[in-house]
């Protein structure tokens, strides 16, 4: 059974494990995540549209960062979301991310009516490979995009985000982070139950 880790320890673990982004961020040029091609690819993959929340920000919750819907759709202010919700930060260049995305889809198909799933394509400046990964993985849960790394250093996210990363959002909006890289549905269910207090 995994334990809840203090924020500093989570940051250290994320730095040492999985994939890590480096200090080089994309330039100031806007990365378009809703080109006609991406919109077509998203539709072809059957990815659900994004759903903005309506709640107010809370202490210990998601940051007031608005991200665009990947492949077109409404943008979402993360601080407005409530759980139980599993948010997964991924990138097409991250090997462990590619391996666990089918597991997230299995979780979505089996438990999505009890615990929502939301993906965030993080720091992918080449967006089409990420959408190709989405289709190959069979992902249909909603997806946001953060190509400019707006989440980096926005509490509770660390300054250097290691991928894959989970943010478990409780019903009251508070968040617990955990490193990703799950290999099975049972492992993800255990993580969700531990971090969200669910009984899946």
Asked whether residue 12 is assigned to any structural domain, the reply reads no
Range of the domain at 161: 36-196
Structural domain includes residue 3 = no
Cα–Cα distance measured from residue 16 to residue 139, given in angstroms and rounded to the nearest whole number: 28
The reply to whether 29 falls in a domain is no
Domain count, the chain: 1
Is residue 122, in this structure, part of any structural domain at all? yes
Q: Which residues pair with 121 in a beta bridge?
A: 90, 145
Report d(CA 54, CA 81) in Å as an integer: 7
Supply the CATH number for residue 119's domain.
Answer: 3.40.30.10
**How confident is the prediction for the chain on average, in pLDDT?**
88
Q: Nearest CA to 64 among 143, 155, 134?
A: 155
* pLDDT per residue as tens digits for the range 5-55: 454 444 444 444 455 444 444 445 578 999 999 999 999 999 999 999 999
User: Is residue 61 classed as helix, strand or coil in its secondary structure?
Assistant: strand
The pTM (predicted TM-score) of the whole model is 0.85
């Amino acid at each position: 059974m995994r334990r809840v880790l203090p924020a500093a320890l989570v940051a250290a673990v994320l730095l040492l494990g999985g994939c890590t982004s480096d200090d080089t961020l994309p330039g100031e040029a806007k990365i378009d995540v809703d080109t006609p091609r991406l919109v077509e690819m998203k539709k072809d993959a059957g990815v659900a549209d994004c759903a903005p929340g309506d709640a107010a920000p809370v202490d210990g919750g998601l940051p007031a960062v608005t991200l665009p819907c990947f492949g077109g759709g409404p943008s979402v202010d993360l601080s407005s979301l409530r759980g139980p919700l599993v948010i997964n930060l991924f990138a097409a260049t991250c090997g462990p991310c590619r391996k666990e995305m089918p597991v997230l889809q299995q979780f979505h198909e089996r438990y999505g009516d009890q615990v929502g799933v939301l993906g965030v394509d993080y720091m992918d400046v080449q967006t089409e490979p990420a959408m190709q990964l989405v289709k190959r993985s069979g992902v249909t849960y909603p997806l946001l995009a953060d190509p400019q790394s707006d989440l980096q250093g926005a509490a509770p996210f660390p300054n250097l985000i290691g991928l894959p990363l989970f943010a478990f959002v409780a019903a009251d909006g508070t968040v617990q982070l955990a490193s990703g890289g799950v290999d099975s549905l049972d492992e993800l269910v255990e993580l969700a139950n531990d971090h969200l207090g669910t009984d899946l």
